Every structure is written in structure tokens, then in C-alpha cells.
Amino acid sequence: MRQTSPLVLGAVAYDAKVVTIWDGFREWFGAKDLAFDYVLFTNYERQVEAHFAGAVHVAWNSPLAWIESLRLAKARKRKPRALVMRDTDCDLTSVIVVPAKSSARELADLRGMRIGVGAQDSPQATLIPLLTLAEAGLEPGRDLEVVHHDVLLGKHGDHIGGERDAARALVRGSVDAACLLDANHLAFGRDGTFAPGSTRVLAQTPPYDHCNFTVLDGAPERALARFRELLLGMSYDDAAVRRLLDLEGLKAWKPGRTSGYAQLGRAVERFRFLEPWLASVAG
């Protein structure tokens, strides 16, 4: 029996629930006559490479994987675009937090101190807040000691573990400040990691965007258009998809935008973060 060849999505398995999410979407798309399948990767770099090699049509990319796609596209003369994103991917901020009793009153006071960050490749808990510090005149490594909490490297901080470790290090006093997603500062207060009133926010980054479905030129346009249409039509009122939306952390899909990645782009440039990877894939 001949079957329509499916639209293939790439996603990174940062948690076991990823299988539940994409199996659920696969079934839901199937019921709407969109043949759909997915491939899981252990890290975003492998996913971006596979995407450019044509192994998947659309990649569910972290913001750093989006920047990686931009950089690789420039070298290979391809055209990436952001198709769709979650409502919760828009306008995130990160915060630099100190203990309430810290002597630091402004960023400059952190000079010479230890900064707890998440995984090396986490945009929200490492790259973007370190850029904020660097642009305030505090060069990581030179003016500050950066203490990484590398949980699941290659997953770009999707796993909350690195941030939690940084928060715990702050509570223990093994770092003087910690970098966290705004929502995780709230979450760690609510779950008791931070005692009420025990922390103070020293700085908050400007807003930035998070994940997007990335597609490259030459992808099957009709199937992609249907995929986009179905995503944007998903309703939180629909019990069949609500569980999947809850797992994936959104209430509604939004058209993709690329205006929220400038800070991460600057961070990657400033810290020359992608050079080793770009060199490895260029060869």
C-alpha cells in the first residue's frame, strides 16, 4: 500500500514527555489528513545538521538552534525562516539574582564575584544574562568568575535542572549571584527553593524570544502550509489537544517572528560561542 510521504519534524529529546507530545500531535495531524512523523535528536547541533542535510522538513528549534541555523545558512547560502512559535515563546526575560542581604546594589558591584549560570549552551540562564553583564562592562571570565551548571549539554537549557542547580548554589552561598529565567525565579519561590524574601533581583534583561519551528528553502510548501494552518487553528478549548499543549507549555501557537533573537545573536558573536561547532560542520 502506497502512503503519502509524511512531513517530518525534528525535535530534541530533552525529556521523556517529548515522545508523548509528538506521538499525540502525530495522531492529531493524522486525523486532519496531514501525514506527519517525527525524528528525535539527542542534541540541537545534530538536529540542525540533519535539517540542513534534508533529513527533516521542519525543526523544533531552541533560540540558539535558530541562531545556529542562521549562521549555517549564511555559509551554505540557504534561507531559513521561523514558521510558528508558542505564545509563551514571546517576550521572555532573564534575571540576575543575589541574596537579599548581598552587598551588591547594582551590576558593577558584582565585579570579582562568582556568577552561577545554567548550562553553557542555555540562552536564558547563561548566554543572554552574561551578555547583559558584558554590555554593562563586566566581562565574564575576566571581571567575573562564571560557575556553570551543565545539566544535559546540547539541549540548550531546555532542561530546568541547570537553573535549579544555580539557584541551589545561590542558596548554599557557593555563588554570589545566579542567572535565571523570570518564570523560574517565580517557580523557585513557589516550590520553596528560595525562601520568601531571601533574594533580590539586581537586573532584568530586555525581552527576547524562545523556540520556533524552523524551515529552510526547498521544504514541501503545501504540507508546511497545512502544518502551519493546523497549528494556528489548535484551540485550548479542544480537550484532545489541551493535554499536549499543557505538556508543551503553551495556550496557543503564534505566527513565527524573528525580531526577538537580537540579544542572543549578539551574545553568540561576543563570546564566539558557535565558532568551534561551525568549524566542525564546515569541514
Partner 1 sequence: MSAKPPRLDLGELGLDRGGHLLVKHALRGLPAGGVLEVVGRDAHLRMHLQAWARQQALESAPIPGGARLSRPETLLGRWRGAERAGASAASSPDAVREQPPARWGLAARGAMVEAGDLGFDFALDRKEVLWSERAAELYRQALAAQWDPAVAVDWKAPVELPDEVEDAVVQVMTYLIENEMAALLVPARFLARIHPHFREILQLLAVQAADEARHIEVFTRRATLKRPELGLSTQGGQASLKTLLDEPDYALAFFLLSVLGEGSFLSLLRFLHEHAPDPVTARVAELSGVDEARHVAFAMAHLKRHLAHDPHLRPRLVAAVESRFDSLREMSGLNEEVFDALVLLAAGRFEPDAVAHGHDAVLALKADMDAARRHRLEQLGFAPEEAERLSSLHTRNFM
Which spans of this chain sit near partner 1 (rule: CB under 8 A)?
87-88, 90-93, 95, 181-183, 185-186, 189-190, 194, 196, 200-201, 204, 235-237, 239-240, 242-243, 249-252
- C-beta of 172 vs 190, nearer to partner 1: 190
**In the complex, minimum distance from the CB of residue 234 to partner 1, in angstroms, rounded to a whole number:** 11
Cβ nearer to partner 1, comparing 77 with 190: 190
Q: Which helix (H) or strand (E) holds 47?
A: helix 44-52
Residue of 153, 149, 117 whose CA lies nearest to 14: 153
Q: Among all chains, which residue has been given the C-alpha cell 529552510?
A: 216
Cell of 13: 529529546
- Give the span between the Cα atoms of 18 and 134, in whole angstroms: 35
Dihedral of alpha carbons 34, 256, 206, 87, sign = negative
Contacts for 103 with CB less than 8 Å, ≥ 6 apart: 109
C-alpha cell of 22?
509528538
Q: Of 46 and 242, which CB lies nearer to partner 1 in the complex structure?
A: 242
Query: What is the rounded distance in angstroms from the CA atom of residue 177 to the CA atom of residue 191?
Result: 19
To partner 1, the closest distance from the beta carbon of 239 in angstroms equals 4
Shortest CB 189 distance to partner 1, Å: 3
Angle between helices 262-270 and 63-76 (to 10 degrees): 70
**Of 156 and 185, which CB lies nearer to partner 1 in the complex structure?**
185
Q: What minimum distance in Å lies between the beta carbon of 123 and partner 1?
A: 16
| Cell (9 digits) for 136 | 554593562
Could you tell me the smallest distance in angstroms from the CB atom of residue 186 to partner 1? 5
Nearer Cβ to partner 1, position 173 or 196?
A: 196
Looking at beta carbons only, is 19 or 201 nearer to partner 1?
201
Minimum distance, C-beta of residue 232 to partner 1, in the bound complex (Å): 14
SS3 101: coil
What phi and psi, each to the nearest 5 degrees, are found at residue 73? -65, -35
What minimum distance in Å lies between the beta carbon of 188 and partner 1? Answer: 8
Name which of 195 and 262 has its Cβ closer to partner 1. 195
Using DSSP bridges, classify how beta strands 36-41 and 84-86 pair: parallel, antiparallel or unpaired: unpaired
CA atoms within 13 A on the CB side of 220: 17
